[in-house]
Every structure is written in C-alpha cells, then in structure tokens.
Amino acid sequence: MKRPGTDNPRSADKRLSAAIPGCLLAVVLLLCAASSATAHGTSAATIDRRAVCVAFIYDDGEVMNYAKVTVSAPGSETPFQSGATDRNGVACFAPDRAGAWRISAGDAMGHLQGMVIEVAEGAEGAVTVASVAQPDGGLPRSARTLFGVGLILAATGSLALFQAFRREKKLFAKGRKPQNGTTLPGRGAPTGDGD
C-alpha cells in the first residue's frame, strides 16, 4: 500500500521547506544556549602595584611554609585577604589604602605570629611602609625551656612534700612516731620510745 503523496516530488519539497524554519530555529537556540553557557569566563593580567611581603619564621630559624595567613585592612573586621605562605614562609599583600594593616600566620600545631604594618600614602597614590610593629616574642627559647623545667620540678617537689606531710600526719594520728625521727609542727619532739 502506498502512502498518499509519496510519488509526487513536489509534496516532498513542501515538507522539506516546512521543516527548514524549524531546523534553523533549533540551530539558533543551540548557539544561544552555548554562548550563554560560556558567558562567565575568566581572564588575567599583570598590574604594576607595590606589595608588602612578610617572611614568617619559627624561633629556631625554620621557615613557616604553607602556614595559613590572614590580612586585615585598617578599621575592618572582615579579612582583606586570606591564603597561605609560600614554601619560603613569605606572604605578600597589596594594600589599597593607608593605615595600620594586620597580618598573621598560623600553623596546625598552634604556632601563631602576627604583626602590624603601618602603611602611608605615597606619591601618585602608591603606598609605602611607614613602620612595622612586631609583637614582642617574649623570652628566648632557652629561657622558656628552663622556665618549663623549673615549673615541672616545683610541681613534683610540692607533690612529694604534700604526700610526705600526709604520711607523717597519719602516723601521728595513730600514735606512732615517724620513721625518720622528724616532727610535725606543733607536735613536739619524738619521744624515742618504740611503737
């Protein structure tokens, strides 16, 4: 059985000419969709701008590489910039106004170092570092180590003295004299008798 209009070449041309506008519309819509999908692109350019770089170093001379860095602009609570130091422990930022800028770097072990950098307005809007206020690092490492050892010894000695005092107090309460012949304050001298 033949379909009607299949043996007429003019009816095929009519169908084709009716399908062309639909195909063109589909192609235009696809092109528009593809161009809007790539509308959010990126670009990069170099700019000539003065930056402030800070090197973060542990007190033993090792660099604080890949430490978390936060930069705060003058009068702002939200960070101006956050990131990490490079493999040499250096972090840079480009201040956009004069004032006291705060930069700090910390690692996962709890080490934290910060400083305040006073930036002044220079010629032609350039910024220059006017002063750097670095917080006092406190005592040198050897003094902190000695202080820590002294604290441990003091705590251990206090605990030993407290335990000895309790032991002697228990002996006196039971009516026995101390083993080493010492007396507790207010208890008088040992009698010298046996138990």
pLDDT digit string (tens) for 164-194? 888 887 777 777 665 665 555 555 555 555 5
Mean pLDDT estimate for the chain:
77
Per-residue pLDDT, averaged over 8-18, amounts to 64
Query: What is the DSSP code (8-state) at residue 110?
Result: S
Q: Is residue 16 part of a domain?
A: no
Nearest to 73 by CA among 52, 98, 55: 98
Phi, psi of 95, rounded to the nearest 5 degrees: -65, 145
58 in helix, strand or coil? coil
Same domain, 59 and 80: yes
The CATH number that applies at residue 64 is: 2.60.40.10
Share in percent of the chain as helix, strand, coil (round to 5): 35, 25, 45
More confident residue, 73 or 125: 73
Which residues span the domain enclosing 65? Answer: 52-133
pLDDT at 68 over 90: yes
Same domain, 66 and 127: yes
Same domain, 66 and 129: yes
Q: Are strands 99-106 and 68-72 parallel, antiparallel or unpaired?
A: antiparallel
CB 92 within 8 A of CB 51: yes
CB atoms within 10 A of CB 80: 18
Same domain, 125 and 71: yes
Separation between Cα atoms, residue 195 and residue 189, nearest integer Å: 15
Number of domains in the chain: 2
Q: What pLDDT sits at residue 28?
A: 76
Q: Which residue, of 111, 133, 155, is where some domain finishes?
A: 133
Per-residue pLDDT, averaged over 33-39, amounts to 56
* Banded pLDDT at 83 (limits 50, 70, 90): very high
Q: Is residue 127 part of a domain?
A: yes
More confident residue, 132 or 81: 81
Q: Is residue 151 part of a domain?
A: yes
Same domain, 91 and 143: no
Same domain, 123 and 57: yes
pLDDT digit string (tens) for 139-170? 666 777 888 888 898 888 888 888 888 888 77
Strands of 112-121's sheet in order across: 79-84, 68-72, 99-106, 112-121, 127-133
Q: Is residue 14 part of a domain?
A: no
Nearest to 129 by CA among 109, 115, 111, 114: 115
189 in helix, strand or coil? coil
Q: What pLDDT sits at residue 59?
A: 84
pTM (predicted TM-score)? 0.51
Q: Token pair for residue 8?
A: 């007429």
Q: What pLDDT sits at residue 143?
A: 75
pLDDT at 24 over 50: yes
